[in-house]
A and B are shown apart, each in its own frame.
Chain A
């Protein structure tokens, strides 16, 4: 699990496909 490195809220980057909450490891 990499939940400690990626946390809510997901960060938006222009030009990078947005995955929303899918970016977050539950």
Chain B
């Protein structure tokens, strides 16, 4: 009986992503004050199970946000190296 899952069920895939992003966005600054939009984008752009898991477990949120930031930093470093 997860309200969010119930809300998501009848929505289109794009609407589901939108809802998940709207839910995630205000949570991100608690673990990473910067890059909120990018981190939300990365988490939203995965299979829906991932953002759902993050929303349900705060520990997972911090972990996934860290992964996202690390990936971003690696990408920036790679771009600078070019």
Q: Report which A residues bind B (CB closer than 8 A).
A: 7-15, 17-21
Contact = CB atoms under 8 A, between A and B. Distances in A.
Given A10-B45, A15-B22, 17 more contacts: A8-B75, A9-B41, A9-B42, A10-B41, A11-B38, A11-B41, A12-B37, A12-B38, A12-B41, A12-B44, A14-B21, A14-B22, A18-B17, A19-B14, A20-B17, A20-B41, A20-B44
Which interface class (under 10, 10 to 19, 20 to 34, 35 or more) fits B?
10 to 19
A14 B45 contact: no
A21 B14 CA distance: 11
Where chain B touches its partner, the secondary structure class is helix
A17 B45 contact: no
